[in-house]
Chain A
Amino acid sequence: MEREKLIKRLIIKCFDIHSVNISKKNGIDKNKMLIDKDCVNQLMQQEKDIKNVNINIIKPREHNCRIDTIMDFIPISTKVLGRIGEGITHTLTGVYVMLTGVNTKGVQMSGFGSTDGYLKDNLKLGCPGTPEEDDYIIHFNVVLKGDVPTTRELSLVAHRACDIFIQQFRNILKMKDGRLADEIHEYVERKSENKKRIVVIKQVAGQGAFHDNIILPAEPSGVKGGRSIIDMGNVPVILSPNEYRDGAIRAMT
C-alpha cells in the first residue's frame, strides 16, 4: 500500500472576465471589469521617476496597435486566506495586465531585444506566459523620465507602479464571494514514500537591470514584500510546488 501524508493545501478560485470597460470607478462585477483610468496618475504621485502612465484596454483579436516594449504579462491574483502557497487565492481569468515601458527620450525598457512595434507582430498568443486569443489585455504603459539612468531601480519603479495599480483590483477581488467562482482548483501537496523524488531547478536571470526576479512577494505575482534574487546573491532558494504555482515569482526580465 502506498503511504501518503497530506502536508499542505492551496485552493485557487478563478473568476472569469468577459468584458473590460472604462468607468468612473474601479470594479469587478459578474464577469465584468471596470477601470477608472484617472485613478492611475493619482496613485503614481509618489513615484518621482515616472512622467506618466497610460492605461488602454486591448480587446480580444484587436492587436493591431503600436506598443512600447513588453516588460511583463501579469495575472491579477490575490490572497484571501493564508500566505503564498497555502490557503485560498482568488484570480481573474480572461484578462491579464501587460506592462510596457519607455522613457521620454524614446529608450525602450528592455534588455536584449525589444518588442516595441505592432502588438500582433511581437506577441505569440496562447503560450503559457502570454494571453489567449479571447483574453482581454489591460495595457499599462509607463513613461519614465529620460534623465534618469536605466538601472535596476528604474525597472523596479515600472514594476512597482504596475503593482500599485493591480493592488486596487486585488483589494476588490479579495472581497468576492468564493462560492461564485467560475472554477475552483485544489492543490494538495502529499508526501509520498514510494515515488521517485524529483526537484526542478529554475535558473532565472540575476545580472542587473531587466535581468532580475522578485521571490515571494506578499501578493501572488506581486512586487511588494518580495526579495530580489540579485539582493539575495543569486543563491538557490527552494519553493514548495504550491508556493511556485501561487505566484511566488515576479519576473523582471
Chain B
Amino acid sequence: MGLGPSTKETTLHHFRDPLLNIISKDKDIDLIGIIVVGTPQSNSEKYYVGRRAATLAEAIQVDGVIISVDGWGNSHVDFANTIEEIGKKSIPLVGISFIGVQGKFVVTNKYMDTIVDINKSPKGIETEVLGENSVSEYDCKKALAFLKLKMKRKKE
C-alpha cells in the first residue's frame, strides 16, 4: 500500500495540520471545510468514493480544491481518480503528495498537472524516519499559491 513512517500523518499531525493553519490565515480565502475520504482496498470502491468526494466538492460550490494524500503507491490510484473526477467538473485543483524518486505516480491523467511533492529526503525515498517526509508549512504555502493562480486563470 505504500504508507511508510516518513509520510505517516500522526494524530498530532492532524491536530496541528499546517495545511489548515496556512489556508485559514489567508485573507482572500474562505475555507469551507475538510473532506475526509478513505482509501479502500478494491478498485471499484476507490472509484466509488472518489466520485462521491468530487460530487460533494461540486455540490458545496467551491472555487478550488487542495487534495492531500497520506501515503503513496497503491493510494495514488485513489488520488489520481479523485483528481480526475474533480477535474472533469472544471474545478481548479492542486494536489499534495509524497513523490520523490520512490513514489512516482503509478497512474496519471491530464488533471494532475499541479502536484506539490512533499519529499524531504535527499534520496527521494521512504526513509522510515517518522515525520521526515511530512507536509510542511512551506509545502502548504506553495500549494495555496498554485491554487490561487489556477483559480485566477479560470476566471480570465
The bracket for how many chain B residues form the interface is: 35 or more
Of B4, B24, B75, which one neighbours A241 at CB under 8 angstroms? B24
**Binary CB contact string for chain B from 1 to 38 against chain A (1 if under 8 A, 0 otherwise):** 11111101111111111111001100111111111111
**Binary CB contact string for chain A from 96 to 133 against chain B (1 if under 8 A, 0 otherwise):** 10000000000000111111000001111101111100
Decide: B10 and A211 in contact? CB cutoff 8 A: no
* Residue of chain B at shortest CB distance from A222: B11
A191 to B30, CA, bound (A): 7
* Residue of chain B at shortest CB distance from A195: B30
* Residue of chain A at shortest CB distance from B148: A196
B contacts with A: majority SS: mixed
A6 within 8 A of B: no
Decide: B45 and A203 in contact? CB cutoff 8 A: no
Which residues from chain B contact A244 at a C-beta distance below 8 Å?
14, 17, 20, 34
A200 within 8 A of B: yes
A150 within 8 A of B: no
The bracket for how many chain A residues form the interface is: 35 or more
Most buried by B among A115, A128, A232: A128
A124 to B12, CA, bound (A): 14
Q: A205-B71, A251-B14 are in contact. Are A238 and B151 (CB under 8 A)?
A: no
CB distance from A166 to the nearest CB of B (A): 11
B39 within 8 A of A: yes
**Binary CB contact string for chain A from 206 to 218 against chain B (1 if under 8 A, 0 otherwise):** 1110010101000
**Binary CB contact string for chain B from 111 to 133 against chain A (1 if under 8 A, 0 otherwise):** 00000000000000010111110
CB distance from A40 to the nearest CB of B (A): 19
B65 within 8 A of A: yes
Of A130, A229, A243, which one neighbours B38 at CB under 8 angstroms? A229
Q: A124-B129, A211-B3 are in contact. Are A241 and B69 (CB under 8 A)?
A: no
* Residue of chain A at shortest CB distance from B66: A200
B103 within 8 A of A: no
Decide: B11 and A250 in contact? CB cutoff 8 A: yes
Decide: B34 and A238 in contact? CB cutoff 8 A: yes
Of A192, A203, A208, A211, which one neighbours B67 at CB under 8 angstroms? A203
Q: Which 7 A-B residue pairs are closest in the complex by CB-CB distance? A: A234-B38, A129-B13, A206-B38, A127-B131, A129-B10, A113-B4, A195-B30
Footprint of A on B, CB under 8 Å? 1-6, 8-20, 23-24, 27-41, 45, 48-49, 52-53, 56-57, 60-71, 74-75, 78-79, 82, 126, 128-132, 134-136, 147-148, 151
Known: A122-B128, A238-B35, A249-B11. 20 other contacts (CB 8 A): A111-B1, A113-B126, A115-B5, A122-B129, A124-B6, A124-B132, A128-B135, A131-B12, A200-B20, A200-B33, A201-B37, A202-B36, A203-B38, A204-B36, A207-B74, A229-B38, A236-B53, A239-B34, A245-B16, A251-B70
